[in-house]
Amino acid sequence: MRRIEIFDTTLRDGEQSPGVALNAEEKLQIAHQLGKLGVNVLEAGFPIASPGDFEGVRRIAQEVRNVGVAALARANAKDIERAWEAISGGESPRIHTFIATSPIHMQYKLQKSPDEVFEQAVQAVRLAKSKVSDIEFSAEDASRSDVDFLARVFTGVIQAGATVLNVPDTVGYATPEEYAAFLKAIMERTTGIEKVKVSVHCHNDLGLAVANSLAAVGIGVHQLECTVNGIGERAGNAALEELVMALHTRRDQFNVETSIVTSEIARTSQLVSRLTGMMIQHNKAIVGKNAFAHESGIHQDGMLKERSTYEIMSPSIIGVDVESIVLGKHSGRHAVQQRLADLGLELEDSHFEELFSRFKLLADRKREVTTADLFSLVDEQKEKTDQINLDYLQISSGTHLVPTATVGLMYQGQRLADAACGDGPVDAAFKAIDKVLGTQGKLSHYSLQALDGGEDAQGEVTVSVKFGENLVAGRGVSTDIIEASVRGYLQAVNRAYTRGWIEIKQ
């Protein structure tokens, strides 16, 4: 069976989702998991974009092995030099350079003639080739480009040394048949196309990203670009898990295979959701909470008689397993350690001891400590690098009271505290945090849900907060929903602080 490569751009295009701001540590964690998932290439970021992006890409290139690491660069010398600086220490580095080729982008955005764009593309690939052998060239807005012009650009960049040609549907405008026909025409008209790999990169503005990518598989493309949970610019990119499971489940139709370890899909999806703060919709294909849930009586009856009546793939194939041992306040170190190992969350001894004491505190507050709770405990541990931490929280609220919050925070070894009133206890607590720190966060999204089923589930709060022009997400979990809200807000504050978007006034 033909092998198709998976190029994951969660850390680049996915990270461009509004509100997502990952630090280098978080990017590295996701990159390691993408390695376990078995992607062929991971796009680690856009090094010229910021010092933080550069550092994230550099560390991933140095520390993540057995997977290609790509860095994005516009088609100019400065970007390419910076991208190369970031990935040169890697095992299999790839420079990914791009320029727009559609009339609308060339005329209005670039304000360049087609000949100038052609020249710039070829020069960029030539420069990149002088540094590394693996060069991907993307024609931004390819699907709205003139087919003959695009074939001319592709022919030129192949001669200059490109090894992968990407045909993005940048604005998610294409339809499957149209996109397949366009790809076919490009492949027929580009000289030297047989020497390179052809890649597709589809956005989801019309909800067609996965369908368009799958249509391209039928044309014989070699690489699919996608993101975990389909996150990305605007409506996002083709979702990795949907592409992979469609190819796997319907291999009778597609006749291709990937190198993805499907049992790592659920874990990867959860990790990306937690660290980006982007919740997964319940009915999301493959990784949504309801993707394998059967509600109606008729369906449940069918399932009990024969699973294949309503189940086209088993949850275990994506790594969703039914837990056999219930963890609670009577569970010992060994049981907790074993469950963490099963979840791929091995910790060093000293970290484990700390986590175990927090596990015991949590188990005192709720009957069962679930997988989601464990993931949260591990996350909290990782967030120990936060500069601003919650020390204490006191709320007074009720039907005849003005909601008031007093918040104590630890910052640079000092305890800072203040109080504020608000429309409700959460609003009061957020205002108190801003008062303590001298920040001015504007809440643009707030959601609260139970972390998982059961009456003693922890509350999980996700927030998006605007600091000036910058939107940043945060997530907090606790048995107390006000505390969860405060923790979510503080995560957003910490992310904004790390990125230099806010200053703390003491």
Q: Provide the annotated binding site for Mn(2+).
A: 13, 201, 203, 237
Q: Is residue 105 part of the contact set for ligand KIV (CB under 6 A)? A: no
CB nearer to Zn ion: pick between 13 and 483: 13
Q: Is residue 485 part of the contact set for ligand KIV (CB under 6 A)? A: no
- Joined together, the tokens standing for residue 113 give 């003639």
User: Candidates 162-170, 249-257, 343-351, 443-451 — which segment interacts with ligand KIV by CB under 6 A?
Assistant: 162-170
Question: Which amino acid belongs to residue 479?
Answer: T
- Which are the contacts of 306, defined by CB distance < 8 A and separation ≥ 6? none
State the residue number with the nearest CB to Zn ion.
Answer: 13
Q: Is residue 168 part of the contact set for ligand KIV (CB under 6 A)? A: yes
Phi–psi pair at 82, nearest 5 degrees = -65, -40
Size of interface with Zn ion, in residues (CB under 5 A): 1
Contact residue for ligand KIV among 140, 241, 460, 483 (CB under 6 A):
140
Q: Give which of Zn ion, ligand KIV, none residue 241 binds (C-beta under 5 to 8 Å, depending on kind).
A: none
Helix axes 77-87, 51-63, angle to 10 degrees: 40
Q: What is the closest distance, in whole angstroms, from the C-beta atom of residue 96 to ligand KIV in the complex?
A: 7
List b or e across 342-375, with b for residues whose CB sees 16 or more CB atoms inside 10 angstroms.
ebebebeeeebebbbeebeebbeebebbbbbbbb
Which of 426, 455, 458 is closest to 441 using CA atoms? Answer: 426
Q: Give which of Zn ion, ligand KIV, none residue 54 binds (C-beta under 5 to 8 Å, depending on kind).
A: none
User: Candidates 19-27, 163-171, 279-287, 380-388 — which segment interacts with ligand KIV by CB under 6 A?
Assistant: 163-171
Do 67 and 61 form a contact (C-beta atoms < 8 A)? Answer: no
Cα–Cα distance measured from residue 80 to residue 64, given in angstroms and rounded to the nearest whole number: 21
Q: Is residue 13 part of the contact set for Zn ion (CB under 5 A)? A: yes
Q: Interface residues for ligand KIV in 192-231 (CB under 6 A)?
A: 201, 203
Q: What is the DSSP string of 210-252?
A: HHHHHHHHHHT-SEEEEBGGG--STT-B-BHHHHHHHHHHTHH
Q: Cα torsion for 490, 493, 495, 501, to the nearest 10°?
A: 180
Q: Is residue 13 part of the contact set for ligand KIV (CB under 6 A)? A: yes
- Provide the mask over 42-81, with x wherever binding to ligand KIV is found by CB under 6 A and - wherever it is not: ----------------------------------------
CB nearer to Zn ion: pick between 170 and 485: 170
Size of interface with ligand KIV, in residues (CB under 6 A): 9
Contact residue for ligand KIV among 23, 33, 170, 498 (CB under 6 A):
170
DSSP for residue 203:
B
Contact residue for ligand KIV among 7, 54, 84, 98 (CB under 6 A):
98
Q: Give which of Zn ion, ligand KIV, none residue 14 binds (C-beta under 5 to 8 Å, depending on kind).
A: none
Do 499 and 470 form a contact (C-beta atoms < 8 A)? Answer: yes
Cα–Cα distance measured from residue 83 to residue 198, given in angstroms and rounded to the nearest whole number: 22
CB nearer to ligand KIV: pick between 98 and 430: 98
Q: Is residue 264 part of the contact set for ligand KIV (CB under 6 A)? A: no
User: Candidates 6-14, 49-57, 242-250, 492-500 — which segment interacts with Zn ion by CB under 5 A?
Assistant: 6-14
Q: Give which of Zn ion, ligand KIV, none residue 204 binds (C-beta under 5 to 8 Å, depending on kind).
A: none
Annotated binding-site residue numbers: 13, 201, 203, 237
Cα–Cα distance measured from residue 181 to residue 183, given in angstroms and rounded to the nearest whole number: 5
CB nearer to ligand KIV: pick between 152 and 203: 203
Q: What is the closest distance, in whole angstroms, from the C-beta atom of residue 1 to ligand KIV in the complex?
A: 27
Q: What is the DSSP string of 316-375?
A: GGGT-----SPB-TT--HHHHHHHHHHTT----HHHHHHHHHHHHHHHHHSS-B-HHHHH
CA–CA distance from 427 to each of 406, 418, 423, 445 (Å)? Answer: 12, 14, 6, 13
Cα–Cα distance measured from residue 365 to residue 451, given in angstroms and rounded to the nearest whole number: 15
- Which residues make up the interface to Zn ion (CB under 5 A)? 13
- Which residues make up the interface to ligand KIV (CB under 6 A)? 13, 98, 138, 140, 166, 168, 170, 201, 203
